Amino acid sequence: MKNIFVFSLSAMALISMTVNAQEKKYPEQEKMTAGMSEYWTPQPRVVTPGDIKTNTAPSDAIVLFDGKDLSKWQNSDGKAAGWDVHDGVVTVNKKNGDIRTKENFGSFQLHLEWSAPKGIEGTSQSRGNSGVYLQGMYEIQVLDNYQNETYVDGMVGSIYKQTPPLVNVMRKPGEWNVYDIIYTAPVFKEDGSYLYRPRVTLIQNGVVLQNNTEILGTTEYIGFPRVVKHGDGPILLQAHGDPSIPISYRNIWIRKL
C-alpha cells in the first residue's frame, strides 16, 4: 500500500514537471511611452485666416463675391447673374430670379453676410425673404425676423419647412448678419434613398442655430421633403417674390471640405 502511494506522488510530480516544461515564454509587453501615441505627419496645410475688419477670406477659400462682380454666378437659366452690384454689396433683383454659383460643390464651409435695409416693411414671410440653397436642393431660410414673427419652421435660420433654429439672433434692419454654414453632403444608396442624410451646422452672428442637423429631403413649399438622388450642386441664392425692399449680400466665400 505504501509503495503505491509513493509511486502515485512520483507520477504526479513528473506530470507537473512536464507541464511546466511546456509553458511558453513570450516577450514582455513593451513599456508605453508618450511618444508612442504621437504622430507628426502629415502636417495640416497652413491657412492664413481672413481679417474680420476688412472682410477678407481665409487664404484657401474660393471667393464667390468680393464686392466687385458676379463672375462666379449665373441666373438659374444659365444667363449672366442679374442682381445689382453696388457699393461692395449685391442686392437681390427679384424680377431677374435666383442666382447660383457656376461651380458645384460637395461638402463645404460657406460664409456670407446679409442685411435687410433700414426702413424695410412687411410681416411674417413678406419681409426680406431670401434663402441659401445648399447643393441647390435644401434651403436655409434668410428672412428679416427682427421683431417679426412667422411660422417657426420657416423663420430665419430654419431648414425651411423642416427644422426651426435654436434661437433668434437677428440684428436690426440696416445692420449686417453673418452666416457660417458647415454642410456635409449626403451619400445615396443605389436605389436613390439616403445612406447618410445631408447634415448642416449653421452659426448666425456667432451663435449656433443648427447643430449638425439632419436634413430630411428637398425643400418643398407645399408638401413634405422628398428624397432626390443628386451629386455636387451649386450654392443658390433665392430671389423671393415678397413685396418688401430687397436685401443685400456681401463677403461670400466657400471652402471645400
Question: Where on the chain is the footprint of Mg ion (CB under 5 A)?
Answer: 129, 131, 238, 240
Of 131 and 233, the one with the shorter C-beta distance to Mg ion is: 131
Whether the CB-CB separation of 152 and 168 falls below 8 Å is answered with: no
| Cross-strand pairs, 85 | 90
Of 62 and 178, the one with the shorter C-beta distance to Mg ion is: 178
DSSP state of 12: H
Helix (H) or strand (E) holding 186, with range, is: none
**Cα(202)–Cα(169) distance, rounded to whole angstroms?**
12
CA 26 vs CA 32, 76, 126, 162, 183: distances in Å: 17, 70, 76, 60, 50
CA 232 vs CA 103, 126, 131, 134, 252: distances in Å: 9, 31, 19, 10, 19
Of 61 and 238, the one with the shorter C-beta distance to Mg ion is: 238
Q: Closest residue (Cβ) to Mg ion? A: 131
Of 61 and 114, the one with the shorter C-beta distance to Mg ion is: 114
